[in-house]
Structure 1
Amino acid sequence: MSLFNVYPLFDITPVKAKDVYVYDENNTEYLDLYGGHAVISIGHSHPKYVKNISDQVAKMGFYSNSIQNPMQVELANKLEEISGCKDYELFLCNSGAEANENALKLASFHTDKKKVIAFKNGFHGRTSAAVAATDNPKIIAPINAQQEVEILELGDLVGLEKALAKNDVCAVIIEFIQGVGGLDESTTAFYETADKLCKKYNTCFIADEVQSGFGRTGDFFAFQKFNVTPDIISIAKGMGNGFPVGGILIHPSIKASFGLLGTTFGGNHLACAATLTVLDVIKEEKLMENVKDISTYFIEKSKEIPQLKNLKGRGLMLGLEFDFPIAELRKNLIYNHKIFTGSAKNPNLIRILPSLTVQKKHIDVFFEALKSELNS
């Protein structure tokens, strides 16, 4: 049986990894500044992570959500403490797409409405409503297109209020820093006014923190730079450091009832062990402080690149924008310099999403390689 061919693949086969490095079958070392789409938060094969997951699977890897799982309670309490999101409630699932799917579904239940407002260049997942709210017609099948979604320009407050005033919108979903779309952000006035408009028109304000959460921006969540109170916060990627886990944080104004949401694998014992370890390491190793420190250093180093048109993003969710397509440059960084970086919907932008443990010496290696390729 062959694999369903939906991924264009680089000719590299990693077989092991440690912190910010991955190694192929020939033991060639690659510097990983992409973290598998911002998934690797505390470094590949962190010793505490390996021990905790190994210990947990030796005891119990899984049982259903029909029984007590104190690890979920511990996770909710620890997440509340480190994130500062007081009084929210936690629902655990398996991925970012599933998190956003549940967020939209919950918003529709809560408001008894069904339309969704999303924004140009946003990406929220590949499942039913999540993909309909994603600004990429190529990945929206006819069965998904039946969802009622309006895509607005990022920052369009006039269009937002006009849409909300029709009183049929259950949710406004937004990435405070766009990931796949290319690291675009709007203004403080936009985010804070959008939050107020949602509350005025009884619409759930969903902060999609799937890529930007868990310390990646230097704050625990990207929205925390602004004076907003999301009704629902979706999380995934960095929360499990590679173990499949996602979830939503739910404001206490939204009430639970039996059967409202559900999942087979979400919140299983291994997922909890992975996420609890990530939270512990972020705190113990002061990784959010490291994010701010390394981000400042990265920004300074970027000034040495005259070909750079723009530097986007915050923390360790960064985009280097040029005035030419970067596909060939990325390939050369991989094959000539053994450095992984990411692409975006913006064809001129390289995404930098390393482990939060990355150090200045790794940034130096990247910029020397970048200079070499650009000057050649």
Structure 2
Amino acid sequence: MKLFDVYPLNNITITKAQGSYVWDENGVQYLDMYGGHAVISIGHTHPHWVKRIEDQLEKIAFYSNSVHIPIQQQLADKLAKVSGKEDYQLFLVNSGAEANENAMKLASFHNGKKKIVAFKKAFHGRTSLAVAATDNKALIAPVNETDNVDFLPFNDEAALKRYFQTNGKEVCAVIIEGIQGVGGINIATDSFLQLIRRLCDQNDAVFIADSVQCGFGRTGKFFSHDHAGVQADIYTMAKGMGNGFPVGGILIAPHIQPKHGMLGTTFGGNHLACAAALAVLEVIEEENLIELAKQRGMYLMNRLRTIEGIENVRGKGLMIGFDVPEDLKDLRKKLLYDFNIFTGEAKPNIIRLLPSLALSRKQSDEFLEALQEAIAELKPKAKETENVQQEEEVRAED
């Protein structure tokens, strides 16, 4: 049987991981500056995370949500403390797409309306409603097409005001990433998020903060939306929540009261998932990783801005992006195969950095030095290609 490749594959097989490093089957060590799409929050195979899961596995791995599961409440209590959202309810699921799907469905149950406002370059997942609210037509199958989602320009306050003046009373919810990850590390301005909050309040609409990639401390706040000083009605979570174990969730403000039957899940909130997520929160708190992410991110971005050959460095905490000119389009491959460093991308020429929140200063410097060397090695090649093209153009004119 042929295995379907989810993504184009790098010719590497990873067999071991620890902290911010992974190793392939030949024992080659790689610095992981991508964390598997922002999933690795506290570092690969963190000892406390491993022990939490092992201890739970020896007791019980799964039973259905038809019985009391005490570790779910332990997770909720710790999440309330670390996030500061003490009066919210927690509904546990398995993934970010599932979290966003349920958030939009719950919003519609709450106010009885249909219209969802999303934004250009948004990515909210691949399930039915989540993908309909994602600005990528290549991902939307005919069955996902709907007239209930309108896409507005990101950070365009005038466009948002005009839309609400005409359609405000029809809006069920506004869903927005505090920082668009797949879209290219585009940061929502504080004033834009504050405007969304006001317009939602004025029109009985639900403010959904998609924190799947930009949550769990990655940006130097627990949720990236916290930078703007706003409170969302629903927060969605996944990725870094489990540090590699599949788990997601939604936090629901107290004025939204789901009834039995509105939301459901078989595997969501299972014992092992809760153990993994609880371990993540404990490590984040004990190792002060949110503050560390803030400091390390500032250091990286300040240094990145001094490197010739990259442009438009932006981000918050350890969610960082920068643009690469066309002549450096092979930079990610060079970093991976010549310097053994994993990075991410967003089209057309954007490199994304999403490392563990426990990334050290030494590892940051290791990346920065490799980046400078890789750029220096690619530049002569790019110049040589440019000269050849110019010579061919001259011969063509002759």
TM exceeds 0.5?
yes
Q: Deviations 1:208-256 (Å, cap 9, x if unpaired)?
A: 0000111101111101111212110000000100000000000001012
| 1:373 aligned partner, one-letter code | A
Correspondence for 2:39: 39
Alignment check: 8 A CA contact 1:115 1:169 kept: yes
Q: Compare 42-51 and 142-151 and name the one that shifted more.
A: 142-151
Correspondence for 1:217: 219
Asked whether 1:333 is paired with 2:335, we answer: yes
Asked whether 1:368 is paired with 2:369, we answer: yes
Matches of 1:88 and 1:179, distance apart in 2: 26
Correspondence for 1:145: 145
Q: Compare 179-188 and 317-326 and name the one that shifted more.
A: 317-326
Correspondence for 1:187: 189
Structure with max Cα Rg: 2
Q: Deviations 1:105-134 (Å, cap 9, x if unpaired)?
A: 001111101111100111100010100111
Query: Aligned-pair distance for 1:57?
Result: 0.8
Correspondence for 2:10: 10
Matches of 2:217 and 2:306, distance apart in 1: 27
Secondary structure of the residue aligned to 1:337 is coil
Asked whether 1:311 is paired with 2:310, we answer: no
Runs of 5+ in structure 1 lacking a partner?
none
- TM-score, length-normalised on structure 1? 0.97
Secondary structure of the residue aligned to 1:234 is strand
Correspondence for 2:170: 168
Summarize the alignment of residues 94-133 of structure 1 with structure 2, pairs less than 5 Å apart: 94-133=94-133
Matches of 1:197 and 1:300, distance apart in 2: 35
Query: Aligned-pair distance for 1:289?
Result: 1.7
Alignment check: 8 A CA contact 2:200 2:207 kept: yes
* Distance 1:350-1:168 versus aligned 2 partners, 3 A rule: same
Correspondence for 2:73: 73
Correspondence for 1:354: 355
Matches of 2:160 and 2:203, distance apart in 1: 11
Matches of 1:109 and 1:297, distance apart in 2: 44
Correspondence for 2:393: none
* Distance 1:298-1:74 versus aligned 2 partners, 3 A rule: same
Query: Aligned-pair distance for 1:267?
Result: 0.3
Alignment check: 8 A CA contact 1:325 1:348 kept: no
Correspondence for 1:57: 57
Runs of 5+ in structure 2 lacking a partner?
378-398
Matches of 1:208 and 1:361, distance apart in 2: 32
Matches of 1:18 and 1:86, distance apart in 2: 33
Secondary structure of the residue aligned to 2:212 is coil
Query: Aligned-pair distance for 1:303?
Result: 2.9
Q: Deviations 1:146-198 (Å, cap 9, x if unpaired)?
A: 25111100122333234334222211000011100011113222110111001
Q: Deviations 1:258-310 (Å, cap 9, x if unpaired)?
A: 11100000000001100100000001111112112211211221133121211
Alignment check: 8 A CA contact 1:326 1:349 kept: no
Secondary structure of the residue aligned to 1:150 is strand
Q: Compare 253-262 and 1-10 and name the one that shifted more.
A: 1-10
| 2:282 aligned partner, one-letter code | D
Matches of 2:46 and 2:134, distance apart in 1: 33
Matches of 2:248 and 2:150, distance apart in 1: 25
Matches of 1:108 and 1:139, distance apart in 2: 23
Q: Compare 69-78 and 272-281 and name the one that shifted more.
A: 69-78
Matches of 1:314 and 1:305, distance apart in 2: 19
Asked whether 1:156 is paired with 2:156, we answer: yes
Matches of 1:337 and 1:348, distance apart in 2: 20
Matches of 1:41 and 1:115, distance apart in 2: 34
Matches of 1:135 and 1:327, distance apart in 2: 24
| 1:21 aligned partner, one-letter code | Y
Matches of 2:326 and 2:229, distance apart in 1: 37
Matches of 1:21 and 1:52, distance apart in 2: 21
Summarize the alignment of residues 152-301 of structure 1 with structure 2, pairs less than 5 Å apart: 152-165=152-165, 166=167, 167-301=169-303
- TM-score, length-normalised on structure 2? 0.92
Q: Compare 366-375 and 8-17 and name the one that shifted more.
A: 366-375
Identity of matched residues, % = 55
Query: Aligned-pair distance for 1:348?
Result: 1.5
Runs of 4+ in 1 over 4 A off after TM superposition: none
Alignment check: 8 A CA contact 1:326 1:347 kept: no
Structure richer in helix, relative to its length: 2
Secondary structure of the residue aligned to 2:292 is helix
Matches of 2:251 and 2:94, distance apart in 1: 14
| 1:309 aligned partner, one-letter code | E
Query: Aligned-pair distance for 1:327?
Result: 4.5
Alignment check: 8 A CA contact 1:120 1:153 kept: yes
* Distance 1:140-1:325 versus aligned 2 partners, 3 A rule: farther
Matches of 1:245 and 1:178, distance apart in 2: 21
Matches of 1:121 and 1:159, distance apart in 2: 16
Alignment check: 8 A CA contact 1:94 1:245 kept: yes
Correspondence for 1:135: 135
Matches of 2:328 and 2:319, distance apart in 1: 18
| 1:368 aligned partner, one-letter code | E
| 1:126 aligned partner, one-letter code | R
